[in-house]
Amino acid sequence: MDITFIFFLGLIISFVGVIPPGLLNMTAAKISLKEGSHHGILFSIGVCITVCVQTYLAAIFAKYLSNHPEVIDILQRVAFVIFVLITIYFLVLARKQPKPNVEANLRSKRSRVLQGILLSALNVFPIPYQAYMTITLASFGWLTFETYSIISYVAGAASGTFVMLYIYIFFFDKIKNEKLTSQKSMNYIIGSITGLIAIFTLINIIKEL
């Protein structure tokens, strides 16, 4: 498989995963607003360092699971139920529109790179997310577990994360009051994304029956 294609798969999947407002992208935006874009970029670099490690671990875990198809079958069914529940939750939650919380704890003035590494390390969701997506891509033959393939995917994942953080850093101040960035809209977006993943998972389950 072409490593460029694998790179862009990692970029897109990681990019989508960082779209919803969360601790990392909101912190990057807040740092940029308070201290300048340079500090926000340094923070984002730290985040991406951790993302590389997390994505690599996810790929290794996915490689292990690929050798145990009986475990994958169980995880696919569990993942389908989880994504359906998450979809329902966010679509129902979208009816409410609380003000987005963009406050972040910025007391520390130490290295923003280190802060990005540490905060990103606290967010363990990318590991199961990337493990599941890696297995799914491999099942379609779009990704292999060769070293070059994993490295290309990891690089894409880090790039996708950085691109989205970059967007938050440079455009959040301009779009924070727009409808697109309202909590209600973001809940609809998250619900739609998880809904698509649930459908994708269901197709895989049906194909394997």
Q: What is the pLDDT of residues 52-68, one digit of tens each?
A: 999 999 888 888 877 77
Q: What is the mean pLDDT of the chain?
A: 78
Measured CA to CA, the distance from residue 209 to residue 195 in angstroms comes to 21
DSSP string, 153-194: HHHHHHHHHHHHHHHHHHHHHHHTTSGGGSHHHHHHHHHHHH
Give the range of the structural domain holding residue 71, as residue numbers without chain letter. 3-208
Say yes or no to pLDDT of 137 above 80.
Answer: yes
Residue whose C-alpha is closest to residue 55's, from 126, 149, 137, 132: 126
* 90-99 pLDDT per residue, tens: 677 656 555 4
Q: What is the value of pTM for the model shown?
A: 0.69
Please tell me the predicted confidence (pLDDT) of residue 200. 75
Residue 36 dihedral angles phi and psi, to the nearest 5°: 105, 155
Please tell me the predicted confidence (pLDDT) of residue 43. 92
Say yes or no to pLDDT of 194 above 60.
Answer: yes
The number of domains in the chain is 1
The token pair at 76 is: 């696919």
Please tell me the predicted confidence (pLDDT) of residue 126. 81
